[in-house]
Amino acid sequence: MVKFYGTEVSSRLMLGTAQYPSPAILADAFKQSGAGIATVSVRREAGGDKAGSAFWDLIKDLGVAVLPNTAGCHSVREAVTTAHMARELFDTNWIKLEVIGHMDTLQPDPFALVEAAKILCDDGFQVFPYTTEDLILGERLLHAGCEVLMPWGAPIGSGLGLSNIYGLRSIRAQFPDVPMVIDAGLGLPSQAAAAMELGFDAVLLNTAVAKAGDPAQMAQGFAQAVEAGRMAYEADPMEPRDMAAPSTPVIGKAFLE
C-alpha cells in the first residue's frame, strides 16, 4: 500500500494506457498487473466535444485511480491548459506534469516544469512532476507545492532501465519522506525490482508492457518484480562486500598440518 496526496493506492505499479494493440489487450494487461493507477494522456482536441469518449469510458471501467498526463506539452501555457482540460474531463485534481524541453531525449525543461508546477499547485492541483534525478530541481518542485517526485530511470520509451544509479540513490536519500516514483525508461521487470530495492515507492511504465509480445504476461511479470523489490528493501538487505565471506562456519573444522 502506498499513499499519494493522502490517497492510498493498493499497488506500487502504475501503468500507462498508450500503444496497446487493442482495448481488450489493454484491459487484460491491467487486470493481470493489478496496477493501482492508470496514466492517461490528454489531447487538446478531446476537451470541448468529448472526442474519444469511448476510450475514456474504457479507462474508467478499469476500476483504478486515473492520473491524467500532460504528455507532449512543450511550454508552461500548454501544460497548464491541458491540466485544466484533464480536471474537467476526469473530475480529479491529480495531474502528471510533463513539460518537455529536449526532443531527442524527451528530457523535461526544468525551468518551465517548476513554473508550471507552481501555477497548478496554487490552483489546487495535486501535481506528480516528471523530472530528472537532479537534487536542486527536486527541491524547487517541492517548494512549488509538489508532494511527490517522479524522476526518470532513463529516457521515455528507451527501455534502458536505471541509467544513473548514483543520482537516483542520492535523490532518494536527500528527500527520504517524499513519495517517489521511477517514471520512464524501464524495459524489464528486473529493472523495476532494482528501482524498488533502492527505496522508491512505486514505478510507472508503459512501453515495456504495451509493446511486449504478450502485454498481459509482461504486466504480470512487472507486478511480481515490484512486489519482490519492495520486500527486499523492507528486509534490510546485506551490504555488498569486496571480498568473499564464507557462509559455512569454519569453527571446529579439522585442519591438516
On whether 93 is known to bind a ligand per the annotation, the reply is no
On whether 206 is known to bind a ligand per the annotation, the reply is yes
Q: Which residue has the cell 517548476?
A: 114
Active site residue 96: yes
CA triple 146-170-232, angle to 5 deg: 95
Parallel, antiparallel or unpaired: strands 13-16 and 7-9: unpaired
Alpha helices in 47-188 (DSSP H): 53-61, 76-90, 110-122, 135-144, 165-174
Residue 16, strand partner residues: 39
On whether 132 is known to bind a ligand per the annotation, the reply is no
Say which of 60, 96, 118, 253 is annotated catalytic. 96
Q: Which residue has the cell 491524467?
A: 68
On whether 229 is known to bind a ligand per the annotation, the reply is no
* C-beta separation of 195 from 167 below 8 A: no
On whether 16 is known to bind a ligand per the annotation, the reply is no
What is the chain's alpha carbon radius of gyration, rounded to the nearest angstrom? 20
CA-based end-to-end distance of the chain: 58
C-alpha span between 73 and 231 (Å, rounded):
36
Question: For the chain, how many residues are written?
Answer: 257
Q: Which residues line the annotated binding site?
A: 157, 184-185, 206-207
- The binding site for 1-deoxy-D-xylulose 5-phosphate comprises 157, 184-185, 206-207
Residues with a catalytic annotation lie at 96
